[in-house]
Amino acid sequence: LRWFENHANLLQKYSVGRLTPGGFKSILRYPSLNDPTNCSRAVTRGVEVVASSIYAVENGGMFVFSIRMRMLRPEEPDYMSPEERGFDTCQLVSRYWRITHGGEVEEVRGAGVVGYYPLLREGDHESLVSDDGGRTFHEEDSGEGIREKYFSYQSCTDGEEGSMEGYLQFKAGSILGGAGEVFDVRVAPFPLKFPQCCQY
């Protein structure tokens, strides 16, 4: 009951995260940049990544994490012009996670993120999906007509406290667009931490 009361209070106080299609069926409230203890932010070559997690007791007691990425616009702090960063667009190629929990370190590598290979541009993105490991792409039809400023995806890891960090590998231009530099975009460490109501 304490968990439910805490969850209701957080829903009133913060915005509610939206899950990618096919995700868990629950309401999740991720820490935002207003909560720097539980949310991280890093900018690499004009690409911003915001990361946080929540403990989802309703999903079997696991941590569900949210990774939000976008290319910054001229009016925002840490912006770099196309000349400074070396590209107009960039596309996600792969991910690397370093998860530390229970005294153990787990490393995860993979192509894209859950089948997505977003193409970022200033103030916008295309949610490109690949059914063949990144050889061909099609744009996801969300049916909503409104695109959020961040490309956001969620996944999960087991329910032990710890931390998570890593990088997202991008290609300048696009994956199918010929020669383009591949570079790493940092995902700063963020905690995997039980909410106060679940600590005993």
**Mean predicted confidence (pLDDT) in 187-199:** 79
At residue 33, does pLDDT exceed 70? yes
**DSSP-assigned letters across all residues of 50-77:** EEEEEEEGGGTSEEEEEEEEEEPPTTST
Mean pLDDT value across residues 108-119: 89
Give residue 197's identity as a one-letter amino acid code: C
Q: How confident is the model at residue 196 (pLDDT cuts 50, 70, 90)?
A: low
Confidence of residue 172 (pLDDT cuts 50, 70, 90): very high
Is the confidence at residue 40, as pLDDT, over 90? Answer: yes
pLDDT for the residue numbered 197: 57
pLDDT greater than 60 at residue 192: yes
- Helix ranges, 16-112 (H): 82-85
Quote the percentage of the chain above a pLDDT of 90: 42
Q: What is the pLDDT of residues 114-158, one digit of tens each?
A: 888 999 999 888 888 887 777 777 777 655 544 568 898 888 888
Per-residue model confidence (pLDDT) at position 11: 58
Bridge partner residues of 71 (DSSP) = 47, 122
Distances (CA, A) of 7 to 12, 33, 54, 168: 9, 19, 11, 30
Using CA atoms in the order 14, 15, 16, 18, what is the torsion angle rounded to 10 degrees?
A: -150
Non-local CB neighbours of 18 within 8 Å, separated by 6+ positions: 148, 152
At 56-67, the pLDDT tens digits run 776 667 888 999
